[in-house]
Amino acid sequence: MTQLHTHDYRNPQQLPEGAVLIVGAGQSGGQIAEELHATGRDVHLSVSMVPEAPRRYRGQDLIYWMLETGKHGPDYGVNGLTTQALPSPALRFAPNPLLSGIDGGHSIHLRELGRRGMHVHGHVESIDDGDITFSDDLPERLAAVESLFGQRSGRAIDAYIAAAGIDAPSQPPVEADDWLPTGPAQLNLADAGITTVLWATGYKLDFSLIDLPVVDEWGYPKHSGGVMEQAGLYVVGLPWLTRHYSAIVGGVGLDAEYVAGRVAGD
């Protein structure tokens, strides 16, 4: 049995022949599932709680609106995509929405993956000598990931568009879909012909190389706008440093500009 984290995955040819089980359905898990399925692989996907989202939203790529809302929203009293609006510090570790940049960019919908022939399962509950048991919460998980975007990000974007008076088309309503994939609750790896398990379980922050008390109880650096409590120590590029997209190329600039100014001043 070949096992590897998505960090070490490069292409389908890297894997031995046979079916593949992907544990985790974030951006990496969803994108790799599509890639493997396109090459004819039999794909099993154990889902997580990563929100689905429309790649195109109100006439623009979704990332455009996320960046604009995070940058300019506070000027109009719209703070939904800033760290201060998070109801819990734990949400700083929430994953980005389930999207792909392939072929110009598109949404990834778990129900649609099932319709295309992939085996969609609940989260992994236990593994015992090649027998995997999945939870029976697939309907609830699918409903949750389909609604999360509208509860926070979509609402913040809509509020920003309205407050700024931007002329943007309305978003077509999403039709209700209660179709369920039929992945089994139990699976024997050998019987299913699975020769590879891909762990799409993400990453966590690790600041153990800094021999100072720099993190809070969540393991996140204690800072204000990227300026840490210890004199001369700064941080940029972390998820939700000050806003949703502080960790990506398009969003890190605002934080870097502020921190650079503080470095120069200090």
pLDDT digits (tens, 9 = 90+) for 93-113: 988 899 999 999 999 999 999
Answer yes or no: do 261 and 190 share one domain.
Answer: no
- Mean pLDDT over each residue of the chain, to the nearest integer: 95
113 located within any domain: yes
Phi and psi based region of residue 74 (left: phi greater than 0; alpha: psi -120 to 50; beta: remaining)? alpha
Helix axes 62-72, 153-164, angle to 10 degrees: 70
98 located within any domain: yes
Which percentage of the chain shows pLDDT scores above 90? Answer: 89
Q: What φ, ψ does residue 106 adopt, rounded to 5°?
A: -155, 165
Answer yes or no: do 229 and 123 share one domain.
Answer: no
Answer yes or no: do 192 and 232 share one domain.
Answer: no
148 located within any domain: yes
> Which pair of structure tokens corresponds to residue 43?
């794909």
Evaluate the CA torsion angle 195, 198, 199, 203 in order and state its sign: positive
Answer yes or no: do 150 and 233 share one domain.
Answer: no
210 located within any domain: no
216 located within any domain: no
Residue 144 pLDDT grade (very low, low, confident, very high; cuts 50, 70, 90): very high
Answer yes or no: do 104 and 235 share one domain.
Answer: no
> Which pair of structure tokens corresponds to residue 16?
């031995």
213 located within any domain: no
Answer yes or no: do 133 and 242 share one domain.
Answer: no
Answer yes or no: do 34 and 128 share one domain.
Answer: yes
Answer yes or no: do 258 and 174 share one domain.
Answer: no
State the DSSP string of 2-21: EEEEGGG---GGGSPSSEEE
- Distance from CA of residue 181 to its chain's centroid? 21
- The boundaries of the domain holding residue 237 are 223-265
204 located within any domain: no
Answer yes or no: do 149 and 239 share one domain.
Answer: no
State how many domains the chain has.
Answer: 2
Contact 110, 180 (CB under 8 A): no
- Which helix (H) or strand (E) segment holds residue 110: the answer is helix 110-115
Average pLDDT of 207-236?
94
Answer yes or no: do 256 and 164 share one domain.
Answer: no
161 located within any domain: yes
Answer yes or no: do 153 and 244 share one domain.
Answer: no
Answer yes or no: do 185 and 227 share one domain.
Answer: no
Which pLDDT does position 266 carry in this prediction?
75
Which pLDDT does position 76 carry in this prediction?
97
